[in-house]
Amino acid sequence: MAALAAHQGGDVTSRSSVGIVAAGITARGPDGPTFQGVDLEALPGSLVAVTGPGGSGRTSLLLALAGRFRLVAGQLSVGGHQLPRRAAAVRQLVAVARARPAVDLDERLRVRELVAERPLLSRRQATTESIVAALRLVAVDPARDALAGELHPAERTLLALALAVAEDPAAVVVDDVDDGLTPRDLPWVWRALRAVAGTGRTVVASAAAPPDPEQADVVVRLPHRSALERATAARAARVTGGKGGAP
């Protein structure tokens, strides 16, 4: 994949890369468990798919891996940094391309406006040149005058991905990569994600449906929230001898 990056113009090879190790990580929201007991081991430069139906905690897990969502149990290390103690360091390493609804492209802006503003807003090293190189890497060339909301769903996803990659992170997370796509569109997006991982960056992508086996190195499957709540209640009942309910 490094050869692909060189061929397409611009140096998009990551200067650093990170592995991710999670053991039994758990998070809770106001309404109960968000995700629970997740194990994950990803080598640097891996492509990780987080799959599950809506409400299974995919977005929260991505944000947790990026140092932006608090865990209540388990152990998580990103690039050797233990969370939550080293969350600030992890946030410097991991870019969030999309995590709806908090992080997403402004659909009211035109592509040229999104490209122009990224170097101004970036806390890392995004430049016009690095954005052009990242767009070439992920094989997308949206019309510069088009509104983000008018783009094909795959183009929107890959534009968000490219803008994040242009900041030169060691890892990137991107949510809902199959949202609005047909089966014919999906290989395009997974090839782009693989190309980014090929630069040495660790990529974590969420999707409702699992990818084909060859498209990801690691797949994390999350249950529907109702199933998670039933499992939590069953554990609580066992601990209390059947006298208690879910916490």
Nearest CA-CA partner of 48 in 161, 135, 171, 134? 171
Alpha helices (H) along 21-76: 58-65
CB 164 within 8 A of CB 175: no
How much is the pTM? 0.85
- pLDDT band of residue 59 (cuts 50, 70, 90) is very high
**pLDDT tens figures, 192-245:** 999 999 999 999 999 999 999 899 999 999 997 655 555 555 554 554 555 444
- Burial code (b: 16+ CB inside 10 Å, e: under 16) for 115-139 equals beebbeebeeebeeebbbbbbbbbe
Q: How many residues does the chain have?
A: 247
How far is residue 242's CA from residue 247's CA, in Å, rounded to a whole number? 13
More reliable by pLDDT, 55 or 240: 55
Model pLDDT, residue 103: 94
Q: Where are the domains of the chain?
A: 2-239
Residues 12 and 164: their CA atoms lie apart, in Å, by 12
Contact 32, 235 (CB under 8 A): no
CATH code of 2-239, in short, is 3.40.50.300
Who contacts 192 (Cβ-Cβ below 8 Å, separation ≥6)?
Answer: 137, 138, 139, 140, 158, 161
Sign of the alpha-carbon torsion through 75, 78, 83, 85: positive
For residue 26, give both structure tokens.
Answer: 């758990």
Cβ pair 20, 41 in contact under 8 A = yes
